[in-house]
Amino acid sequence: MHLGKVMVVFGTRPEAIKMAPVIKELKKVKDINTIVCVTAQHREMLDQVLTLFKIKPDYDLDLMKEKQDLFTITAGVLGGMKTILEKEQPDLVLVHGDTTTTFAAALAAFYLRIPVGHVEAGLRTRNKYSPFPEEINRTLTGRLAELHFAPTDTSRDNLLAESTAQFKIWVTGNTVIDALLDTVRDDYSFAPELAEIDLHKRILLVTTHRRENWGEPMRQIYQALIDLVDEFPDVEVVFPVHKNPVVRDIALEMLGQKERFHLIEPLDYEPFANLMNRCYLVLTDSGGLQEEAPSLGKPVLVLRDTTERPEAVQAGTVKLTGTNRQRIYQAAYTLLSDPAAYEKMARAINPYGDGKAARRIAKVATDFLYVRVGAS
């Protein structure tokens, strides 16, 4: 029995990482035709993930443009997806998480009355400007979706609070854990560009990129890092610097000439995941790292005032510091000087699943298509 077509749509590196296990599981189902469409909202960072996970897109909108803004991306995805969806007429469109690609692709599918499945559904801060624009992208996608794949019970409860029907929600765990466990190896050999990093030292792995942290908040973050390196001679900072000039200019100005700071180009997912496995502590304003690092027993300090992943805070695997220099310094100082505090965070149970989320999502999608075929 031919069950129909599932189209998987994503646009950025984090989405590609999290959707790769879903694509892999869907392609195991012989009665489903799985179509992959990328918008390439971030071209270079996306391509290396496609190569790593051996994903060959059927469609590529190639939207990446210099100095693109949210208006350009939204219009590009909406128009591009209209053409593709009208041609393929999929029975289900799967989108992921929180980016502008997610919302615009879901909206295009809705306009054509095609059901949408939302992977990593239900993450909320209840502050529409933090994170921006992800919070609203997620919320609007949630109103458009027919199937909601919530990573945790907390995410499910958020959806229920918005009057999402319970029978449309599945708690699956987070697919990023599936991808991570398939990528990290204890015997991984790093490339020569990382040779200067002394992995016997305590490595602070740092990432910053969020719009709400541009400007003075980033300066506060970087000054706290300087304070920490000055305080602890056995600490080195590894900072894959985001391509955005707003981030890069401040990072180079403040940290470029500092000893024991390694400002490197953004890493491909495989070396980054394995570097995370070897680091001591993660400081980030990213969303995904709040889920990934605890799976490897690495405490995470979140350089934001809010998080859409409160279950991680509750579980004790991450701590919110905001962007205040002193608060960041004190939180990191405690973990660097108090072994008991470090072990408490490192050993806390990660709430984001067991590495079988993609299998559960593929099963629900298959069942959904089976019912549609039977009803047609």
Q: What gap in Å lies between CA 188 and CA 191, rounded to an integer?
A: 10
185 is written with which tokens? 């190896």
Task: From the candidates 219, 242, 359, 372, give the one annotated as an active-site residue.
Answer: 242
309 CB contacts (<8 Å, ≥6 apart)? 123, 287, 290, 291, 318
Q: Are strands 147-150 and 116-119 parallel, antiparallel or unpaired?
A: parallel
Torsion of CA 255, 261, 265, 270, to 10 degrees: -150
**From 15, 120, 135, 268, the catalytic residue:** 120
d(CA 124, CA 102): 15
Q: Which one of the listed residues 134, 178, 268, 292 is annotated catalytic? A: 134
Active site residue 242: yes
Reply yes or no on whether 62 is catalytic: no
For residue 207, what is the enclosing H or E element? strand 202-207
Please indicate whether residue 120 is annotated as part of the active site.
yes
Catalytic position from the list 15, 25, 98, 270:
98
| Range 10-30 burial, b when 16+ CB lie within 10 A, else e | bbbbbbbbbbbbbbbbbeebe
**268 is known as an active-site residue:** no
- Please say if 359 is a catalytic residue: no
- Please say whether the beta carbons of 94 and 119 come within 8 A: yes
Active site residue 211: yes
Catalytic residue of the set 209, 219, 248, 372: 209
- Of 211, 248, 359, 372, the catalytic one is 211
CA–CA separation, 97 and 109 (whole Å): 16
Residues annotated as part of the active site: 98, 120, 134, 209, 211, 242
